[in-house]
Amino acid sequence: MKKFTFLFYFLLMSVSAFTQWTWQNPLPQGNRLNSIYLTDVNTGYAVGDNGTILKTMDGGTNWISQNSGTSSTLYSIYFADANTGYAVGGYGTVLKTTNGGNDWTIQNSGTLYWLFSVYFTDVNTGYAVGDDHGTILKTTDGGILWTNQNSWVNLNNLYSVHFPDENAGYTVGDSGTILKTTNGGINWANQTSGTSYNLKSVNFIDPNSGYAVGDSGTILKTTDGGTLWANLGSVTQYTLHSVYCVNGNTVYAVGENGTILKNWTVQTSGTQNGLHSVYFTDLNTGYAVGDNGTILKTTNGGAGWTNMISGTTTNFTSVFFPSPDTGYTVGYGEILKTINGGSDWTVQDSGFFADWYSVHFTDANTGYVVGWFDDGWERYSVIHKTTNGGTLWTTLDLGTTAWSHSVYFTDANTGYVVGGGGAILKTINGGGFPVGLNDLTTTPKSIKIYPNPSSGKITVEIPYIAGKSHMCLYNLTCKEILTQTISESKTILDISNLNAGIYIVKITGERDVRFGKIIKK
């Protein structure tokens, strides 16, 4: 039996499947098709919008419509044998046929969430997956009963992730959440932290020994890989935002009101601004960043801290040095770089205005920043990558709208991002695109804008548009400049009356949201 499943799109309008209307052109129908399955060289099935099911018996030369009995969008189809097949889709729809598609019956999936893929290991045992933070349904009786296999061990917001080696990793978040993986992120297990305080940062010396810090000065320590977390008590009442282990004997933490701790002893920072991140390049030299453009440096192991001039009042949230002299810090709408150990900092043009929350470099040239963009109604996750030391930043697709709070790479190719709603994402190809997603060069979620920069008319091209979409144009203060409904793949915009600067275009479709940047000369 030959099987393949892929997404493909007909760039044609969709219509409601009311019985009083029949397709005249194209034939047999013109709804978007989402999945195809072949049971042999001649017989195949395709499913799509508005409950569409098509069947071919001559290798695809001719297709006939089948009655699915539903108007829900169908996203995936699979046949366990020549006669027994299943299709899944919107609102928990599961359909089954036992006679090669002549009749389809609706099954009770037990969920109203969208199901995007279905697969059977035999005639009776199958799985369907979908949204709602990773819905997984399983049946062992040919679809009579479906049970929910929860793929998420925790749905609390996650703020920090750290991998002491390529397989062992930890992430922390709200309500004392600590999750651990021992197989490179394939599975995550809850650990007992012994606290209900929000945990903001985690850092390990080795796979077994590490620290987590958070609200109200919470400090936790483990020496057995998280089996037991000991509460070290609070030497400060202020929230601790970041912890960094220089080695087994030296640990730093920073937090609100200028708090800096070394081995859990309060140090004099010289500032009352909140500090959100700390990083050391060696035993003596370290940096702490925070609110109102604060950048502090120590060269004597924290005994004294010097306030470096950042040239901005941005609230910084993360700092990272890939080498002793070259470092980066990120915050609200800005990425800064130094090449002389923090004496001077220059703004890097990321090409996008976002709240950046974390920065990590795998070498002197290759780095990543993550955060979110807020359009005034919703927040959208953003990740950028540079391969030339911050001169140019490119946008990657994380495949999630959950806001991202921390990024960490174990090597040049393997990285992790954690964030809202318990989101954990992994890449195994240097962040080029997350596991399971297409390369941005071919993904239908991309937007083409040309000419760009421009002082007059530009073309906004949206490949594979389906149905009507809503386009909004914002300036960098999130003020809406333009809004209109679009239904064509190409739209001409006249920006001649706009002030020079950077603008964000947002395209909201039926099932996705896309962003692009316009530069007005």
What are the pLDDT digits (tens) for 422-447? 777 788 888 754 333 333 333 334 57
More confident position, 427 or 112: 427
| Cβ neighbours for 467, distance < 8 A, ≥ 6 positions apart | 13, 14, 487, 509, 510
| Cβ neighbours for 27, distance < 8 A, ≥ 6 positions apart | none
What gap in Å lies between CA 428 and CA 418, rounded to an integer?
Answer: 15
What gap in Å lies between CA 88 and CA 261, rounded to an integer?
Answer: 54
Instruction: Express as a percent the part of the chain with pLDDT over 90.
Output: 30
What gap in Å lies between CA 409 and CA 431, rounded to an integer?
Answer: 9
What gap in Å lies between CA 519 and CA 517, rounded to an integer?
Answer: 7
pLDDT score, position 17: 31
pLDDT score, position 151: 43
pTM for the full predicted model: 0.55
What gap in Å lies between CA 41 and CA 515, rounded to an integer?
Answer: 41
At 361 the three-state DSSP class reads: strand
What gap in Å lies between CA 359 and CA 472, rounded to an integer?
Answer: 29
CATH code at 448-520: 2.60.40.3080
8 Å CB contact between 247 and 283 = yes
pLDDT score, position 12: 25
Q: Is 357 left (phi over 0), alpha (psi -120 to 50) or beta?
A: alpha
pLDDT score, position 330: 94
**Using alpha carbons only, how large is the chain's radius of gyration in Å?**
26
pLDDT score, position 317: 93
At 394 the three-state DSSP class reads: strand
Q: Stretch 56-78: mean pLDDT, rounded?
A: 85
> 90: which DSSP letter?
G
Distance of CA 375 to the CA centre of its chain: 17
**Local confidence band at 464 (pLDDT 50, 70, 90 cut-offs):** low
CA angle 133, 138, 142 (to 5 degrees): 145
**Local confidence band at 208 (pLDDT 50, 70, 90 cut-offs):** very high
pLDDT score of 243 more than 50: yes
8 Å CB contact between 303 and 287 = no
**Among candidate residues 87, 10, 28, 51, the one with its CA nearest the CA of residue 467:** 10
What are the pLDDT digits (tens) for 396-420? 766 555 678 889 998 988 888 887 7
8 Å CB contact between 279 and 314 = no
pLDDT score of 86 more than 90: yes
> Residue 519, Cβ neighbours under 10 Å: how many?
17
Percent helix / strand / coil, the chain, rounded to 5: 5, 45, 55
Q: Stretch 128-134: mean pLDDT, rounded?
A: 62
pLDDT score of 98 more than 80: yes
pLDDT score of 20 more than 50: no
Lowest mean pLDDT among 292-296, 306-310, 463-467: 463-467
pLDDT score, position 467: 63
The average confidence (pLDDT) of the chain is 80
One-letter amino acid at 465 equals I
Instruction: Express as a percent the part of the chain with pLDDT over 70.
Output: 82
What are the pLDDT digits (tens) for 214-224? 999 999 999 99
Tell me the three-class secondary structure of 304-329, residue by residue: CCEEECCCCCCCEEEEECCCCCCEEE
Q: In the CATH hierarchy, which top-level class contains the domain 158-427?
A: mainly beta
pLDDT score, position 26: 54
pLDDT score, position 147: 79
pLDDT score, position 161: 79
What are the pLDDT digits (tens) for 135-170? 667 888 898 888 765 445 556 777 887 888 888 888
What gap in Å lies between CA 448 and CA 446, rounded to an integer?
Answer: 7
> 373: which DSSP letter?
E
pLDDT score, position 135: 62
**Local confidence band at 15 (pLDDT 50, 70, 90 cut-offs):** very low
One-letter amino acid at 9 equals Y
pLDDT score, position 196: 93
pLDDT score, position 484: 86
pLDDT score of 482 more than 90: no
pLDDT score of 16 more than 60: no
What are the tokens at 228?
A: 């037991």
pLDDT score, position 149: 56
One-letter amino acid at 428 equals I
> Residue 228, Cβ neighbours under 10 Å: how many?
12
Tell me the three-class secondary structure of 17-40, residue by residue: CCCCCCCCCCCCCCCCEEEEEECC
**Local confidence band at 226 (pLDDT 50, 70, 90 cut-offs):** very high
8 Å CB contact between 77 and 117 = no
Widest CA span of the chain, in angstroms? 81
CA angle 262, 264, 266 (to 5 degrees): 70
8 Å CB contact between 381 and 400 = yes
**Local confidence band at 123 (pLDDT 50, 70, 90 cut-offs):** confident
More confident position, 441 or 351: 351
